[in-house]
Amino acid sequence: RERAREILETVKDRDETRLGVEAMELLDAYGIETPAGDIVDDPADALEVAEDIDGNVVMKIVSPDILHKSDIGGVKVGVENEDVYDAYEDLITRAKNYQPDANILGVQVQEMVNLDDGVETIVGMNRDPQFGPLMMFGLGGIFVEILEDTTFRVAPVSETEAEDMTKEIDAAPMLRGARGNDPVDIGGITETIQRLSQLVTDFPAILELDINPLVALPDGVKAVDVRLTVD
């Protein structure tokens, strides 16, 4: 919690409302697992990070001006080490083409999560003028807006409430192992909902927060993309 406070203070001092680099650290401070990796601002550093990660990596543009990275080709999945330089330059070019004066913080190099074994979910929070902090859980990934398979509870949520959320969505059978797939770590999901609920309860300055996707795997969960807005 102290670490989270420090992270949020830093951001406040810089007068940035959308956290870039710090968003992942904030989750980490609350015990929510994120993929290995880092955010860098030159290709040589990107390669160094990629070399420290087993297998291919995912590379993403990091900019407070680009909300939906994949919409502008700002997410590259399965990048081999020998392609890291090109991928880096291409991501920057795409961002500048999209918005020439975009504030580009760098490129995130991430461990690749095996989506074949997992389910992309979303865990989020919005402050409702009437109800206060509303936790949201649903099916995630890039189709979340289309499917609208979500459920809500007011934070702080209890363990039972968090469990109920995982049972309520239409896609619940997918979490429990449909079509011969292994069930995913539902305990990991409920824990993540609760930890996030605690984070936004501790810090009212967090106005909005989304983990999308939280990839739920048979043996754990990973917060692959996070976006948040602070007061």
List interacting residues with ligand ADP (CB under 6 A).
35, 58, 60, 68-70, 75, 77, 110, 112-113, 115, 120, 141-142, 212-213, 224-225
Which residues in 13-51 are b (16+ Cβ under 10 Å) and which e? eeeeebbbbbbbebbebbebbbbebbbbeebebbbebbe
185 scored as a contact of Mg ion (CB under 5 A):
no
* Residue 121 near Mg ion by CB under 5 A: no
Interface with Mg ion (CB under 5 A), residue from 225, 226, 228, 230: 225
Nearer to ligand ADP, 157 or 214 (CB): 214
Partner interacting with residue 121 (select from Mg ion, ligand ADP, none; CB below 5-8 Å by kind)? none
Q: How far is the CB of 71 from ligand ADP (least distance, A)?
A: 6
List the one residue from 212, 216, 226, 228 that touches Mg ion (CB under 5 A).
212
Nearer to Mg ion, 174 or 223 (CB): 223
Distance CA 209, CA 118 (A): 22
Is the CB of 192 or the CB of 212 nearer to Mg ion? 212
In the chain, at which residue ranges do the beta strands (DSSP E only) sit?
37-40, 57-62, 75-79, 106-111, 119-128, 132-139, 150-154, 206-217, 220-223, 226-230
What is the SS3 assignment for 14? Answer: coil
Residue 58's binding partner, choosing from ligand ADP, Mg ion, none, with beta-carbon cut-off 5 to 8 A by kind? ligand ADP
Can the peptide bond before residue 64 be classed as cis, meaning omega within 30 degrees of 0?
no
